[in-house]
Amino acid sequence: MKDFFKSLLASIIGCSIVLGIFALIIFVVVAAISFDSSGGYSLKENTVLTIKLNGILKDKVLQTNPLMDLLGEQDNETGLDDILSSIKKAKENDKIKGIYIKAEIFSASYASLKEIRDALLDFKESGKFIVAYGDTYLQGCYYLASVADKIIINPEGNLDLHGISSSHMFLKGLLDKLGIEIQVFKVGTFKSAVEPFMLDHMSDANRQQVTSYINDIWGTLTSEISSSRNISVEELNRITDSMPLLSKTDTYISNRLVDTLMYESDVKKYLTQLSGLDDVKKLNTADIDDITSVAFLNPDKSNNVVAVLYAQGDIQSGTEKTDINDVRYVKEIEKLKDNDKVKAVVFRVNSSGGSAYASEQIWKAISDLKEKKPVVVSMGDMAASGGYYISCNATKIFAEPNTLTGSIGIFGMFPNFGNLTNKVGLTYDNVKTNKFADFGQVTRPMREDEKAIMQGYIEKGYDLFLTRCSEGRGIPKDSLDKIAQGRVWTGNQALKLGLVDSLGGIKDAVAEAAKLADLKDYKVNSFPQKSNFFETLLLNQKEELATRALKEYLGKDYELFTKLKQIREQDFVQARLPFDFEIR
């Protein structure tokens, strides 16, 4: 009897725990849904918009972690679209007195930073103030903050101007030690995406192109900082070469990089004064999330729509809701084509490329859309290789001066794990009915006749890529080939070469799309739609658990694992930028 009561008690406790967990899940879901539908932020008088430069910048955040939102935690991603719309609202709304830029650790490319910077310059036409503060200004944040009327730094702070370098990691030495051979097929002298698997250093051609575009990007940064801070470009380069990060803060003032030293606790008092108030308690602040939920003062109620379709990430075959998957994006494009309210489309591309096959499918969908309504491409940080492929046939193409584009070239890779399997004692044998029945076998090197077939296939793909770009841009094929060859160009350079039509951001592309559609009044809607609560919850938890487990188990080998996984899973013909591509 005693054992019975013990078992009964244990069962009751177990059921209570399960029911408690179940009740908690229901509470969280209901609370999140209620929180979602509770209404927007109420903007108050005497508000300063705070733009915190932290986390990761994306063109558009399509998924958020609803549990973190509910608990008040940030998911560390900010949408460029939300920042730009918030700045626009701040300009037109008299309740907002100015903008406060708080520089922290911010992962963003220079093309996106320029787009925000241009929006801030437009904001300044309202006569409202912009103040920037940082404990430490990293280079990208300083470039953005340099537009401010007043730049403040902590008395013990740091400011980093070091120039630009482009870092590439090479895997050949490691793969050789493991006994893994990557068999490479490519077209394009400058197609450097395969170099990490072939070489242990940059080729001369790749060094030439990288030197060219990083100098062009640095030239844009220094010229704009020069204009805002009234410091010559020559002087900026002299300051940069002195490594200001390790200098005393008073030299930042003497070099005119900043205006004053101030602790963060005193900044709100300064903002209060600028707002014409006599008490800090009267000053209100609002962040990007707050302003995003505030409606425009004069929203356009037109039935005419200019759609902005965001495409960011790798180009892949499939239907997943991450990156640019061809089946999903073809459907999105077809919906826009068949929607009579949509009069023009801005295709916002931010991609280093990916599957050549998937790129062709999206190219075809854009071409069909173009026959029915204007399509204007707005290039983000990069629209290169496959990213350029899906852009090339648009009615007009806009790029930022710092956008990386071009890279018209194709490659294919086949791994050979034969030496690795031999090292661990595994051997393979097979029988076949025909000569190429075992084509693509990863446990042996390719034969010469197989290599010839594969190289021919790659060259055929490159010719198709050239044809698409030639017809889309109206450039003779032989002339285009000379500026193609897998070479990467900046937006500045691409404009001179005819690869893009104009320099500008999303705002300029939308205005051009409306003009091409002959619209006097219109509203702007963005696509794809954000994932709903349940989709985001399930996707986030699955990905986070899987990634955490792999990193825990593999440690330092996790990065190599992800690269080999890419090779195994991706389409074997690729149009993309280098795998390890970082500009600092």
Q: Which residues are catalytic?
A: 191, 385
> 47, 97 in Cβ contact below 8 A?
yes
Q: 137: how many CB neighbours lie within 10 A of its CB?
A: 30
The Cα 476–Cα 294 span in angstroms is 49
- Cα 523 to chain centroid, rounded: 25
What whole-number distance in Å separates Cα of residue 160 and Cα of residue 163? 9
Q: Beta strands 129-137 and 284-286: pairing type?
A: unpaired
193 exposure class (CB count in 10 Å sphere: 0-12, 13-18, 19+) = buried
Side chain identity, residue 271:
L
Q: Going by DSSP bridges, is the β-strand pair 396-399/284-286 parallel, antiparallel, or unpaired?
A: unpaired
Exposed/middle/buried for residue 383 (C-beta within 10 Å: 0-12, 13-18, 19+): buried
Give the contacts of 283 (CB within 8 A, at least 6 positions apart): 46, 47, 48, 268, 271, 272, 275, 277
Alpha carbons within 13 angstroms on the beta-carbon side of residue 496 total: 6
- Taking the C-alpha atoms of residue 271 and residue 99, their distance in angstroms, rounded to an integer, is 9
Phi and psi based region of residue 271 (left: phi greater than 0; alpha: psi -120 to 50; beta: remaining): alpha
Instruction: Tell me if 326 sits within 8 A of 317, measured CB to CB.
Output: yes
Q: What is the dihedral of CA 566, 572, 576, 577, to 10 degrees?
A: 60
Is residue 528 helix, strand or coil?
coil
- DSSP labels for 357-416? HHHHHHHHHHHHHHHHS-EEEEEEEEEETHHHHTTTTSSEEEE-TT-EEE---EEEEEEE
Task: Evaluate the CA torsion angle 287, 288, 291, 296 in order and state its sign.
Answer: positive
- How does DSSP assign 251-271, residue by residue? HHHHTTS-SEE--HHHHHHHH
**DSSP states of 84-142:** HHHHHHHHH-TTEEEEEEEEEEEE--HHHHHHHHHHHHHHHTTT-EEEEEEEEE-HHHH
